[in-house]
Amino acid sequence: MMAYIIRRVLYAIPILIGVNLITFVLFFFVNTPDDMARMHLGEKRVTQEAVEKWKEERGYDRPMIYNNEADGIKTLTDTIFFDKSVKLFAFDFGQSDDGRNIAHDISQRMWPSLAIALPTLLVGLLVNITLAMLLAFFRATYIDITGVVLGVVLMSISSLFYIIGGQFLMSKLWHLMPISGYDTGIDAFKFLILPVIIGVIGGIGSGTRWYRTIFLEEINKDYVRTSRAKGLSELKVLFKHVLKNAMIPILTGVVVVIPLLFIGSLVTEAFFAIPGLGSYTIDAINHQDFSIVRAMVFLGSVLYIIGLIMTDISYTLVDPRIRLE
């Protein structure tokens, strides 16, 4: 087991190098160091001299990937790419281009992201499973059919509509909660209700549908039929056998997204002024802050890979028949 995990972790390294290279090429193709300097020095009265100074200050005055003028190993190491990438692997993200420590910012901003994403996931899971059970319970009745159609309808509505509509109704018309904002500690609660509700409603369509399929698949299995034939009531069958067995695919499906919860949601955070990592990323894109974007891409990739490994492990834990190769 341990050996497997270590092997998977080692396997992640070339992937992360690849990720780094791709983002590096993409961003520097668009964004020369000169551009970055001007972006950060402001609009009024900027001289080329100031730009050069800025670049030198931050180590952007070197060649990109290959240094012709240096010798030996330095041809590769004395470059922007090497300098800016190697430190990532030690989670030393350095400074953003406006001089703030990125690791510190990330460590502060991931909690609000998590505060939105985790309740959304848990409440969503609860609601979706409940509804899916309901549909499975009433399968092939009008409730099931209406439920499925309603699910498709909910799925077909743009997520932006949920947000705009939700803010408009709940906050503007009904004064139920603050329209946007965030606070630390217990005060955060009232700000979280609306985004969480909207997140849950937005996910009901696809979630319920997906879990319903899982339940139905389980219900049609032989052992369920047998236990029903033995005279167990439908409800008992549903809870004792179907739910228990269906939890395996459900939970393993959830495991993969858990690490990514830290990253947060771009659109939700922007609309609700949540100071999480999602809005951090959007800001960075808009300000073309390469250091932050690179750090976020790296972080996202790491979390994604962790999610994959966790999924594999959780499979073996819940189902001993699967052995890790």
Partner 1 sequence: MTMGTIQFAFLWTDILIFILVAAIAVFVIYTIKHKHLRDPWKRVFQRRLGMAAFLVLMAYVCVGLLDSVHYKKGDNPEIISLFDDLVGGLRTREEKSYSAPFATHLFAKEMMERADGSRVRGYPRLQYGGAHLQDPHKDKWADITQRVLQAVLLALIAWLLFSALMILWLARRKQQTWRSMLSSVWHGKESLPWKVVLVTLGLLILFMALLLQLSTHYHVLGTDKVGQDVLYQSLKSIRTGLVIGTLTTLFMLPFAIALGIMAGYFRGWVDDVIQYLYTTLNSIPGVLLIAAAVLMLQVYMSNHPDQFGDVISRADARLLFLCLILGVTSWTGLCRLLRGEAMKISQVEYIQAANAFGVGHLRVISRHILPNVMHIVLIAVVLDFSGLVLAEAVLSYVGVGVDPTTNSWGNMINSARLEMAREPMVWWSLIAAFSFMFMLVLAANLFSDAVRDAFDPRLQRQQ
Partner 2 sequence: MSGTLTNRVFGWTSFTAFGLLLLTACDGRPWNNPYPLKDDGSNILYSEFSERPKHLDPVRSYVSNEYEILAQIYEPVVQYHYLKRPYQLATLTATDIPQPRYLDSNQQPLPPDVDVSQIAYSVYDIEIKPGIRYQPHPAFARDEQGRFRYHQLSDEQLSNIYTLADFAHTGSRELVAADYVYQIKRLAHPRLHSPIFGVMTDYIVGLQDYADTLQKTHAQRKVDTPDRTPYIDLHKLDLAGVKEVDKYRYQITIKGKYPQFVYWLAMPFFAPMPAEAERFYLQPGLVEKNITLDWFPVGTGPYMLTENNPNLKMVLQRNPNFHGELYPQEGDPGDREAGLLRDAGKPLPFIDKVVYNLEKELIPYWNKFLQGYYDISSISSDSFDQAIQFTGEGEATLTDSMREKGINLLTAVQTSVWFYGFNMQDKLVGGDSERARKLRQAIAIAIDIEEFISIFANGRGIPAQGPIPPGIFGHTEGEQGINPYVYNWVDGRPQRKSIADAKRLLAEAGYANGRDEKTGKPLLLYFDTAMPGPDAKAFLNWLRKQFQKINVQLVIRNTDFNRFQEKVRKGTAQIFRWGWNADYPDPENFLFLLYGPNKKVLNNGENGANYDSPVFNRLFEQMKTMENGPQRKVIIDQMLEVLRRDSPWVFSHFPKGFSLYHSWYANVKPNLMANNTLKYKRIEPGLREQKRHEWNQPVLLPLLVIVVVLLLMILPGVLTYIRKEHHSNNRSAV
- Please report, as ranges, the residues that interact with partner 1 according to CB under 8 A: 14-15, 18-19, 22-23, 26-27, 29-31, 149, 152-153, 155-161, 164, 168, 216-217, 220, 263, 266-267, 281-282, 285-286, 288, 293, 296-297, 300-301, 304-305, 308
Q: Of partner 1, partner 2, none, which one does residue 301 interact with (CB within 5 to 8 Å by kind)?
A: partner 1
Q: Which is nearer to partner 2, 105 or 218 (CB)?
A: 105
233 by DSSP, 3-state: which?
coil
Helices (H), 179-273: 189-219, 222-229, 234-237, 244-255, 266-272
In whole angstroms, what is the distance from residue 100 CA to residue 292 CA?
10
Q: Which is nearer to partner 1, 121 or 293 (CB)?
A: 293
| Angle, helix 142-155 to helix 189-219, in steps of 10 degrees | 130
Tokens for 103, please give them: 């690791």
**Beta carbons of 180 and 167 less than 8 angstroms apart:** yes
Smallest distance from partner 2 to CB 46, Å: 7
Smallest distance from partner 1 to CB 302, Å: 8
Q: Which is nearer to partner 1, 79 or 281 (CB)?
A: 281
Q: Of partner 1, partner 2, none, which one does residue 128 interact with (CB within 5 to 8 Å by kind)?
A: none
Strand partners, 125: none
Please give the torsion angle defined by the CA atoms of residues 299, 305, 306 and 309, in that order, rounded to the nearest 10 degrees.
Answer: 180
**Beta carbons of 275 and 181 less than 8 angstroms apart:** no
Q: Which is nearer to partner 2, 46 or 308 (CB)?
A: 46
Q: Which is nearer to partner 2, 146 or 226 (CB)?
A: 146
Smallest distance from partner 1 to CB 70, Å: 28
Smallest distance from partner 2 to CB 262, Å: 15
Q: Of partner 1, partner 2, none, which one does residue 142 interact with (CB within 5 to 8 Å by kind)?
A: partner 2
Q: Of partner 2, partner 1, none, which one does residue 44 interact with (CB within 5 to 8 Å by kind)?
A: partner 2
- φ, ψ for residue 101, nearest 5 deg: -75, 120
Smallest distance from partner 2 to CB 273, Å: 5
Smallest distance from partner 2 to CB 133, Å: 9
Count the Cβ atoms, other than its own, within 10 Å of residue 142. Answer: 8
Q: Of partner 2, partner 1, none, which one does residue 297 interact with (CB within 5 to 8 Å by kind)?
A: partner 1
Smallest distance from partner 2 to CB 75, Å: 22
Q: Of partner 1, partner 2, none, which one does residue 7 interact with (CB within 5 to 8 Å by kind)?
A: none
**CA proximity to 290, closest of 105, 37, 50, 15:** 37
In whole angstroms, what is the distance from residue 209 CA to residue 115 CA?
26
SS (H, E, C) 257-296: CCHHHHHCCHHHHHHHCCCCHHHHHHHHHHHCCHHHHHHH
In whole angstroms, what is the distance from residue 308 CA to residue 100 CA?
32
Q: Of partner 2, partner 1, none, which one does residue 130 interact with (CB within 5 to 8 Å by kind)?
A: partner 2
Smallest distance from partner 2 to CB 71, Å: 21
Q: Which is nearer to partner 2, 127 or 310 (CB)?
A: 127
In whole angstroms, what is the distance from residue 54 CA to residue 151 CA?
54
Tokens for 186, please give them: 């217990």
Q: Which is nearer to partner 1, 68 or 158 (CB)?
A: 158
Q: Which is nearer to partner 2, 262 or 280 (CB)?
A: 280
